[in-house]
Amino acid sequence: MQTPRFIGSDIYRGSSYGPRHPLSIPRVPTVIDLCRAMGWLPDRQYVTSPRAKAEALTTWHSPAYIAALQCAETEGHVTAETRTRHHLGTLSNPVFPEMFRRPATAAGGSLLAADLLGKGGAVYNPGGGTHHGMADRAAGFCYLNDPVLALKAFLAQGLTRIAYVDIDAHHCDGVAAAFHGESRVLMISTHEAGRWPFTGALDDRAGGHAINLPLPRDANDSGFAMALHEVILPSLQAMRPQAIVLQCGADAVAEDPLSRLALSNNAHWATVAALRTLGPRLLVLGGGGYNPWTVGRLWAGVWATLNGYDIPDRLPERARNILAALTWSRRPALPPDTLVDTLRDRPREGVIADDLRAAITTLRERRAAWV
């Protein structure tokens, strides 16, 4: 089996959407630093992400939008017309110094990953996963849509069975729009019901090739495990994908401020471990996640899982110091010791909501009808 590769970049260090934005927190740098502190990220596995060129971005995004995004970064402001047409310079997608270079680097990482996976293996690009970006506008903190670009790159390689699995707390509306009715791409999304962008209903099949499973508020590890084993894994096993793209958004855990789900990071790691064996190519992306401690811990554990490393019960001092040094305007004091001393959350198991059981039954019956 090919050695997994980690794609990162220094552009994420010190780059922020602004002090009051949910993405003011360090995420990718924390993951890199934690993995290096644990001895999990030798130089031979680390790849510096290239910045995608404008031409590569127009396989999904319109040339006018890419030009507007580049101009906004250069000028440091947008016109009212640009704000209205392309949704740049808004509260969600503000103007900031690296507003083109940073997402173009994330996109370049996902495009590079598709190339690296030509012969199989696993690649991790935690800076990716920006699944809300639309062809002609920014949306939901996403200026570009790197999952779409990676999926299109796999299609360009001639692959005909590609699975996109998204376990972010928010529905992947940009990906759904890009591949509506595309029979070569199966999209599976779990996300919080009734949460922005308010898409991805149970009956929404995106033209016939999507499985959407909205999770009720307070959904726990037990409910997610049921979804994983009764919806996600059987669907992938039936498809036999040539490539899997997993968007591993960290905002579905209990401590995240932008969702009301109650998962532990064990749910994400179990998904990574299960998908690792279901296809010859696996690309794992980041995504949402707005608590600096939970994001760093979860995404570092993803890399450990991809490599088969044991996750210790207690972190060594060097790794613990990285988490202890984090700050967050929403929590001026240090968080509970469990978010600093360990990577693994305690399992959050419990009662599975009746509406989730019913939704899973509906999807299981629907899959049986397809067969």
319-368 tens-digit pLDDT: 999 999 999 988 877 788 899 999 999 999 999 999 999 999 999 998 87
Is there a contact between 169 and 183 (Cβ–Cβ < 8 Å)? no
Strand partners, 48: 8
Residue 209 falls in the annotated catalytic set: no
Higher-scoring residue by pLDDT: 299, 207: 299
Could you give all domains of the chain from N- to C-terminal order, each with its CATH number? Answer: 5-49+103-370 (3.40.800.20)
Q: How does DSSP assign 309-326, residue by residue?
A: PPPPSS--HHHHHHHHT-
Burial environment of residue 270 by CB neighbours within 10 A (0 to 12, 13 to 18, 19 or more)? middle
The mean pLDDT value for 143-161 works out to 98
Q: How far apart, in Å, are the Cα atoms of 222 and each of 52, 113, 170, 246, 356?
A: 40, 32, 20, 20, 11
How far is residue 294 from each of residues 254, 270, 327, measured CA to CA in Å? 9, 16, 13
Q: Name, in order, each residue with C-beta under 8 angstroms of 227's C-beta and a sequence gap of 6 or more.
A: 190, 213, 215, 356, 360
Calculate the alpha carbon distances from 343 to 304, 323, 339 in Å: 10, 10, 7
Segment 22-30 mean pLDDT: 97
- What is the tally of helices (H) and strands (E) in the chain? 14, 8
The pLDDT, as a whole number, for residue 336 is: 82
17: nearest Cα among 285, 290, 250: 290
Within 10 angstroms of residue 204's Cβ, the number of other Cβ atoms is: 15
Joined together, the tokens standing for residue 139 give 């949306």
Q: How far apart are CA 307 and CA 20, in angstroms?
A: 36
Query: Which entry of 87, 131, 132, 171 is annotated as an active-site residue?
Result: 132
Q: How many residues does the chain have?
A: 371
CB 258 within 8 A of CB 288: yes
The confidence score (pLDDT) of residue 370 equals: 58
Mean pLDDT, rounded, for 157-172: 98
Q: What are the pLDDT digits (tens) for 40-53? A: 999 999 999 999 99
What distance in Å separates the CA atoms of residue 280 and residue 333, rounded to the nearest whole number? 44
